[in-house]
Amino acid sequence: MTNEPPTPQPGELLRLPEELAVLAERDAVVRAWVAHHDARTLEQAHTGAPDGMLGGWTLGVKDVIDTADFGTERGSPIYRGRRTDNDAACVAMARRAGAVVIGKTTTTEFALFTPAATTNPHDATRTPGGSSSGSAAAVAAGMVRAAFGTQTVGSVIRPAAYCGVVGFKPTHGLVPLAGVGSLAPSFDTVGWFTRDVADTATVLQALSGIEAGSTAADRAPRIGVYRSHQWGSADPETEIALVEAATRLEAAGFEVTEREPLRHLDGVFEAADTVLHHEVARVFAWERDHHWDLISPLLQRMLGNADRVDAAVLVEARLLLDQATHAHTEYLRAEGLDAIVTPSAPGVAPPIETTGNSVFNRTWTALGVPCVHLPTGSGPLGLPLGIQLTGHRWGDAALLHVASRAERALEASP
């Protein structure tokens, strides 16, 4: 086991030298970075940063997101040495708000499956998750205050779960994707990692102007516990964590109800898989034609399977997703639910040879709803466990308000 990272108080502004010291001390094992600035460059950037909402914050940027001061290699030898002259929109907005970009964090190949070199800060023999491996690990290790990731299936929520930090995937389309390497446009979403919900809400406001909202005045949040169609994939520790979290939230005054399998979500998981494969195969048309030998065998197999997606099946899958998205919105409104609580991952972080399973994330990403992971404690071997809260499309601020109340309730519980 590695030493636990320092835990800042919620909202505490970390001094830049402290985080650099942690980076220097721990990254030889964690390996969260593709590249980062030296202390002198960061001191100059810190001094010249605007006094905005993120003034003085240290920020990591996943290496599929363009930055003017670093290359963007997307975890692939095809793009080794690739540079742009501009920042992605999300990076530009964060800098405008005062954030100081430390460097580029590791990613799996093209934000897909092939593991990066990064290790889990809690145990170097375990995965930090993927594809936003370095961003989650850097925040968990105390190297930065926040870090950008991306999610097309489960690449923010799952690493947050494995590393024990807050991870947030906003509503699809809320944060612009300009300057972000595409994987599957129907699902690609910029998200981020922080150590508490308050910081996550601050980043949301800095990027979108949306201030964390509230549930209806003077009433308890109403949440539904949903084990999902994929419940059979949950490990025993995840089953226990979900039940314990629901019990603790109910004791704190939340209105908690168990939800039966949601029939309007039948087939969503499979339809999303069809659309994902179809879009990935087309997004990487150039790489396939010109650099097939530099694509990993795992991705080569995925691309081969994608070629067999029938056009009629694809249209049927897209229509099913449209209908399910509408039906889910109506369901949440009719039931008066502020959020649904589900597992974030099947269990604790598995061994480092894999990035884990996104089985509990695909449906919610396909629906485009906002999702947030909250750490709740430790499971086997002291590895992090937590829960996923999903909300209404375009209800990002309200979801983070519920998440903030849930975070306080869970921290206050034994």
Q: Specify if 134 maps to a domain.
A: yes
Give the single-character DSSP code of 106. P
Residue 300 falls inside a structural domain: no
pLDDT number for residue 160: 98
In whole numbers, what is the pLDDT of the chain averaged over residues? Answer: 93
Asked, for residue 380, whether it belongs to a domain, the answer is yes
Q: Tell me the per-residue pLDDT of 270-301, one tens digit each, with 9 for 90 and over.
A: 999 999 999 999 999 999 999 999 999 989 99
Mean pLDDT of the region 164-187: 98
Say what the pLDDT of residue 413 is. Answer: 59
Mean pLDDT of 253-264: 96
Higher-confidence residue of 230 and 43: namely: 230
Residue 278 counted as domain residue: no
Asked if the bond preceding 131 is cis, omega within 30° of 0, the reply is: yes
Q: How far apart are CA 272 and CA 200, in angstroms?
A: 27
pLDDT of residue 9: 41
Of 14-18, 100-104, 132-136, 362-366, the one with minimum mean pLDDT is 14-18
Judge contact between 348 and 237, C-beta under 8 A.
yes
**Res 4 pLDDT > 80:** no
Q: Could you tell me the strand order of the sheet in which 222-226 lies?
A: 33-36, 100-105, 58-62, 146-151, 189-194, 166-169, 371-378, 384-390, 339-343, 222-226, 255-259
What DSSP element (H or E) covers 300? helix 297-306
Those residues whose C-beta lies under 8 Å from the C-beta of residue 160, and which sit 6 or more positions away, are: 129, 136, 166, 167, 193, 344, 373, 386
Q: What is the mean pLDDT of residues 179-206?
A: 98
- Model confidence over 108-153: pLDDT tens digits? 999 998 999 999 999 999 999 999 999 999 999 999 999 999 999 9
Domain count, the chain: 1
Residue at token pair 């370095």: 134
Q: 335 lies in a domain?
A: no
Q: Judge contact between 226 and 192, C-beta under 8 A.
A: no
Q: Is-catalytic flag, 62?
A: yes
Are 153 and 230 a contacting pair, CB within 8 Å?
A: no
Residues near 95 by Cβ (< 8 Å), separated by ≥ 6? 49, 50, 87, 101
Question: Which residues, listed in sequence order, are joined to residue 180 by a DSSP beta bridge?
Answer: 65
Q: Which of 76, 132, 155, 358 is catalytic?
A: 155
Give the pLDDT confidence score for residue 380 in this predicted structure.
87
* Residue located via tokens 């375990």: 126
Does position 79 have pLDDT exceeding 60, yes or no?
yes
> Is position 178 within any domain?
yes
User: For the purposes of burial, counting CB atoms within 10 Å of the CB of 175, is it exposed (0-12), middle (13-18) or buried (19 or more)?
Assistant: buried
| Mean pLDDT value across residues 225-234 | 94
pLDDT over 50 at 212, yes or no: yes
Residues in the chain: 414
Q: Token digits for 226?
A: 């949903």
pLDDT per position as a tens digit, 296-316: 998 999 998 888 889 999 999
In a domain, 88, yes or no: yes
Q: What is residue 95's predicted lDDT score, i.e. its pLDDT?
A: 98
What beta strand segments (E) does 63-198 contain?
A: 100-105, 146-151, 166-169, 189-194
152, 376 Cβ separation under 8 angstroms: no
Give the model confidence (pLDDT) of 22-78 as tens digits. Answer: 999 999 999 999 999 998 888 888 888 899 999 989 999 999 999 999 999 999 999
Residue 1: band (very low, low, confident or very high) from pLDDT cuts 50, 70, 90 = very low
What value does the mean pLDDT take over residues 232-248? 96
DSSP 291: -
Element (H, E) at 380: none
pLDDT, residue 6, reads 44
- Is 186 annotated as catalytic? no
The pLDDT value given to residue 2: 42
Residues of the chain with pLDDT > 70, as a percent, come to: 94
Asked about 155 being catalytic, the answer comes back as yes
Look at residue 263 and tell me whether its pLDDT is greater than 80. Answer: yes
Q: Which member of 131, 135, 228, 404 is catalytic?
A: 131
Distance CA 176, CA 119 (A): 30
The residue segments making up the domain with residue 117 are 16-217+350-412
Phi then psi for residue 260, to 5 deg, are -70, 165
> Considering the chain, what percentage of its residues have pLDDT values greater than 90?
85
Residue 206: pLDDT band with limits 50, 70, 90: very high
Query: What pTM does this model have?
Result: 0.94
- The CATH number of the domain holding residue 85 is 3.90.1300.10
| Contact indicator for 16, 42 with CB cutoff of 8 Å | yes
Identify whether 206 is part of a domain: yes
Task: Give residue 209's region: left, alpha or beta (phi > 0; psi -120 to 50).
Answer: left
- Helix, coil or strand: residue 372: strand
